[in-house]
Amino acid sequence: MCIFFYNFINKLIIRLKMKKLFFLTVLMVSTLIFTAQSQTPTPAGKGAAIQFNETAHNFGTIEEGTRATHEFEFTNTGDSNLILTNVQASCGCTVPTWPRQPIKPGQKDKITVVYNSAGRPGDFHKSITVSSNVKNEAAKVLTIQGKVNPKPVEPPQPVSPVKVNSN
């Protein structure tokens, strides 16, 4: 009797495992099919698109302490509003400002980037990542670079001897 009960339970467990496995397999296949269909590319010309006049700027040589500014101009070449969701610099020494309102198709605008060279002598190369609502496109990366001449070191002032009164 005990062996019969044991065999019955074993067969029941195996059947349940097989049903679960079959159900999970069907679920995974249907999810893959649904996901593949939802990721079809947007037809050309549909949605917002961004085109920069330039994506890199070289300031050349600047003096330490200078706040170097450059404007990256762009155009919405798509057929719907362009929204810049975030513009982030690779370092706190670089501060971007960008339009927060939607940019209409065909409209031009700009991203202003300010590099603070105070305390940063030498070569620099910074990136600015532009995130937007452009479909099927990774964020655009803008770059600035240049060289900062260090401030001239002032020679130390001579220390005059201290005069002591002897009374």
Confidence category of residue 18, pLDDT binned at 50, 70, 90: low
Average confidence score pLDDT of the chain = 83
Residue owning tokens 């260090």: 150
Lowest model confidence (mean pLDDT) among 20-34, 40-54, 65-79, 95-109: 20-34
Q: Are 102 and 143 in contact (CB under 8 A)?
A: no
Under CATH, domain 50-149 is a member of which superfamily?
Answer: Immunoglobulins (2.60.40.10)
- The tens digit of pLDDT for each residue in 22-41 reads 554 554 545 556 555 444 44
- pTM over 0.85? The answer is no
Task: Please provide the DSSP assignment of the chain as one string.
Answer: -HHHHHHHHHHHHHHHHHHHHHHHHHHHHHHHHHHHHHTPPPPTT-S--EEES-SEEEEEEEETT-EEEEEEEEEE-SSS-B-EEEEEESSTTEEEE---SPBPTT-EEEEEEEEE-TT--EEEEEEEEEEES-TT-PPEEEEEEEEEEPPPPPPPPPPPPPP----
Give the burial class of 28: count Cβ atoms within 10 A of its Cβ; 0-12 exposed, 13-18 middle, 19 or more buried: exposed
Q: Are 75 and 51 in contact (CB under 8 A)?
A: yes
Lowest model confidence (mean pLDDT) among 72-81, 100-109, 145-154: 145-154
Instruction: For residues 47 and 20, give the distance between their C-alpha atoms in angstroms, rounded to a whole number.
Output: 43
Q: Domain map of the chain by residue range?
A: 1-34, 50-149
Q: What is the pLDDT of residue 14?
A: 72
Mean pLDDT, residues 82-97 taken together? 96
- CA 39-45-49 angle, 5° bins: 85
